[in-house]
Amino acid sequence: MPANPFDLDNEPAYREWRAHKLAIAPAALEELIVEIDDPRTLSDAEHAALSACCRRANMAIYKSQIGALEGTDTVKQCGQRFGLYHLDHNRGAEADAVTALTVQDDALHTPYIPYSNRAIHWHTDGYYNRLDLQDHALLLHCVRPAMRGGENALMDHEMAYLLMRDTDPRFVRALMQEDAMLIPKNVVDDVELRPDRTGPVFMVAADGHLHMRYTMRKRNVVWKDDPLVHDAVAWLENLLNSDSPHIFRATLQSGWGLISNNVLHDRSGFEDAPDPVLKRLLYRARYHDRIARESCRQTPHPCHA
């Protein structure tokens, strides 16, 4: 097995990976945007272009021609083209595990910010899941944008790791501790929907890729009582609140989508159009898979990530 660059005790492997990562890093959002016809039926050239973006920055944005077409099949069929099949059946999702992100005021959705028009702080999706059921890929597809707002900021979590390790490797080591962060249990109407969950921020998956669990929402996390952990968290917050050239901002429009290996992201608050028919609507698919490095042309399922 090749040396892992995310091993803090292997500086040569890290230096080699770091040089390559910085050499291919996009300098502007436009480098990660690919114009396509239909995300449900990607051509080989479209798939290759999107895959290349994901290899560079763990994300890509497509601009398709399908407009405000509703239906969760769009995001599912797109995901399958990238070897994504194992959806996270999270609370609030539709029956097929794809989530319709729109303002909803019913009892099930009201407690959760994604179903409101409020801003959402920086996070990765599914950070509260069990460590063996993490969300390694995230797809978003926009049917209708908000009348105003709803912008996403995006940052490759590998780049955040690189910048932190360059600043102080002790910060990375602190956030790799198994008890670095505690996600408090979720209780609704005296029913425990999820127990306390403890785990690291940065973790190396079985196949060697870097995964990140993070939220900036103060009420959603309890950080370990460790000075280095607190210093590392403060450093990360400063980075994400900065004007770093590695942070990209985009407002998805009708027919646009984000394909990613669950990169760091946030969402600004937004204002919907007065007509309910024109409400903001995005579909979100979270996967326990990671985007396949190689996708088979017709049947990507057997391919390995």
- Note the pLDDT of residue 219: 83
- The full DSSP string for 177-193 is STTSEEE--EEETTEEE
Q: What is the token pair recorded at 4?
A: 């892992």
pLDDT for position 298? 35
Write out the H or E segment, with its range, that includes residue 159. Answer: helix 157-167
**For the segment 37-93, what is each residue's pLDDT rounded down to a tens digit?**
999 999 999 999 999 999 999 999 999 999 999 999 999 999 999 999 999 998 777
Three-class secondary structure of residue 140 per DSSP: strand
Which of 86, 80, 2, 8 has the alpha carbon at shortest distance from 42? 80
Rounded to 5 degrees, φ, ψ at 283 are -105, 135
Contact between 305 and 292 under an 8 Å Cβ cutoff? The reply is yes
pLDDT computed for residue 113 by the predictor:
79
Q: Which residues have a Cβ under 8 Å from the Cβ of 210 and sit 6 or more positions away?
A: 6, 157, 158, 161, 202, 203, 204
- Name, in order, each residue with C-beta under 8 angstroms of 130's C-beta and a sequence gap of 6 or more: 197
| CATH number, span 11-287 | 3.60.130.10
* Packed helices 227-240 and 157-167: angle between N→C axes, nearest 10 degrees: 120
Question: How far is residue 221's CA from residue 203's CA, in Å, rounded to a whole number?
Answer: 17
Query: Residue 198 CB: number of other CB atoms within 10 A?
Result: 15
Q: Which pLDDT score, from 0 to 100, does residue 301 have? A: 33
Per-residue pLDDT tens, the chain, 305 aa: give them.
Answer: 678 999 999 999 999 999 999 999 999 999 999 999 999 999 999 999 999 999 999 999 999 999 999 999 999 999 999 999 999 998 777 789 999 999 987 656 555 678 899 999 999 999 999 999 999 999 999 999 999 999 999 999 999 999 999 999 999 999 999 999 999 998 887 888 889 999 999 999 989 999 999 999 988 899 999 999 999 999 999 999 999 999 999 999 999 999 999 999 999 999 999 999 999 999 999 999 999 875 433 333 333 23
pLDDT the model gives residue 1: 60
Q: How far is CA 24 from CA 20, 53, 223, 288, in A?
A: 6, 10, 33, 26
Closest residue by Cα to residue 17 from 237, 208, 212: 208
What pLDDT was estimated at residue 2? Answer: 75
Give residue limits of the domains in the chain.
Answer: 11-287
Query: How far, in Å, CA of 161 to CA of 212, rounded?
Result: 9
